[in-house]
Structure 1
Amino acid sequence: MGVGKEAKHKHMNFTITITNVSTVEELPGYWKDQDYINLLEAFNFPDANTVKPENLREMLHMAITDFEPNEAAEIVLTYKLSKRLNEGQIAQISNDMLLDKISEEYPEIDLHHDLFSINQLLFKAFNGKFPNAKATLADFSMVSKDGFAGEITKEMVLKSLNNGISDRNLIKRLFTEQMTTAKKFEEADGVLWELNKKDATNFNLVTSEYWLKKEEFEQPEFEGHCLLTEDEESRNS
């Protein structure tokens, strides 16, 4: 690949309309009934698979509180993240979680989504012994002004949001170059936990309030600009 080729990028323009933003303390659908059953078993609850679905969560809260908070954290972390974290890391996080919002502070940001839902399960079960974390949900439309009809990615959404969110926003401050130039936004997948496509132009995003607060959406409608590198563009065209 020659130098000229490497420098190529595509400038895309979208009209972004923010239709709804809300702040939540848990993400519906993250924990499935089977997760609750598996966790009940992990917490030594007898006959977990005989509990009625509507009672699973309440029973799990009771089972969890038979344990010390850090022990309970270790069990849930092991269940969800043992493929990603070793025993030492899990032990460390299970203690740190009682003091800090680990789902915001852990250096591997692609784990924040899981750590948030683990934290909130424990926060609810222990009635506040764990710090409370929050997530931001936003519904928006994104209409191309130059005929782009490819896949809209998390990276493209974040870059395009730059013009409509407050300068105090953490993403803008930490990732200024990725948001405003053609530099690849490697962390976009970890920053945006979910990007759900409703139809060709309407989307829903889920992220941590740490990254994007409701009040940081300053414009209900704005022009979004997105610079992509050539290889990124070809992947999305």
Structure 2
Amino acid sequence: MKYQININSANTVEEMPGYWTTEDYIRLLAKFNYPDADKAGKDTLNELLLMAITDYEPNEAAAILLEDKLSEQLNEGQIEQISNDMLLDKIVEEYPEISLHATLFHINQLLYKAFNGKFPNTKATLLACTITPLEENGEAELTKEMVLKLLGAGLTDRNLVQRLFTEQMTGSVPFPEAANILWELNPAAGHSYEILTSENWISPDDFTTHDFEAQVEKTEILEQE
């Protein structure tokens, strides 16, 4: 199926407002020994958490956040290792389990803000685009794999996804990694989408054009979550 892709905006962001919920803040404040967080105003919870985090050593704070968000995916030893490595390296870009990158990004940026830059600053790319079918009966639910392949038509060959997943991007082999390379794929009105991914995977500067056509075969629609 052929599509017209229009990149309406491509911006670098350091955090995504709304990722941390009120429930997250209250639960985490309790873990950082802040009393009666449930009685605090919702608009103060973020600042209260940032202050509570700094009562701990940076690696200790990192371990608490990692345990809270990723205890089902990481064991105690892995959490301890990552909590120390995060102070030195961009773990969100380097950790071998791609499925954890999005959560690691949000944790890292909370720590970066709390500790005034003691943690490396990692960035994400927020895309707003329209993806319009060009064929009759071309309507289909777009998966992350489909969208990533369509975006590839507008990306430079130097782009990291293009270089690491050449065969997957051309559709010659399965591409389960796509589900975790694109962190969020949120449809909006019409054929509009908001996409969040790591700047390491797709930088705004990676696009050679913001208006292009691309094709994805129907046999490529299936996506492994």
Scaled by the length of structure 1, what TM-score is found? 0.90
| Runs of 4+ deviating beyond 6 Å | none
Note the aligned Cα RMSD (angstroms): 1.4
Structure 1 residues 49-64: aligned runs within 5 Å? 49-64=38-53
Q: Deviations over 1:173-221 (max 9, x none)?
A: 0001111134221100110000000134111100000100011122110
Q: Deviations over 1:106-129 (max 9, x none)?
A: 111011000000000000000000
Structure 1 residues 9-88: aligned runs within 5 Å? 12-88=1-77
Is the aligned partner of 1:161 residue 2:157? Answer: no
Name the SS for the 1:164 alignment partner. coil
Match of 1:116 among 102, 105, 113: 105
Shift of 1:46: 1.2
What amino acid does structure 1 have at the position aligned with 2:120?
Answer: P
8 Å CA contact retained: 1:180, 1:226: no
Match of 2:122 in 1: 133
Distance change >3 Å, CA 13–CA 182, structure 1 → 2:
farther
Structure 1 residues 132-211: aligned runs within 5 Å? 132-147=121-136, 148-211=138-201
Name the SS for the 2:50 alignment partner. helix
Match of 2:84 in 1: 95
Paired with 1:171 and 1:121, the residues of 2 have a C-alpha distance of 26
What amino acid does structure 1 have at the position aligned with 2:53?
Answer: I
Shift of 1:28: 1.5
Paired with 1:172 and 1:48, the residues of 2 have a C-alpha distance of 46
Shift of 1:228: 5.1
What amino acid does structure 2 have at the position aligned with 1:55?
Answer: T
8 Å CA contact retained: 2:86, 2:108: yes
- Runs of 5+ in structure 2 lacking a partner? none
Paired with 1:70 and 1:98, the residues of 2 have a C-alpha distance of 7
Paired with 2:194 and 2:123, the residues of 1 have a C-alpha distance of 17
Paired with 2:202 and 2:66, the residues of 1 have a C-alpha distance of 25
Paired with 1:234 and 1:197, the residues of 2 have a C-alpha distance of 18
Paired with 1:233 and 1:158, the residues of 2 have a C-alpha distance of 12
What amino acid does structure 2 have at the position aligned with 1:215?
Answer: D
Is the aligned partner of 1:213 residue 2:188? Answer: no
Is the aligned partner of 1:106 residue 2:82? Answer: no
Paired with 2:91 and 2:218, the residues of 1 have a C-alpha distance of 32
**Whose Rg is larger?**
1
Scaled by the length of structure 2, what TM-score is found? 0.95
8 Å CA contact retained: 2:143, 2:221: no
Match of 1:224 in 2: 214
Aligned pairs, number: 222
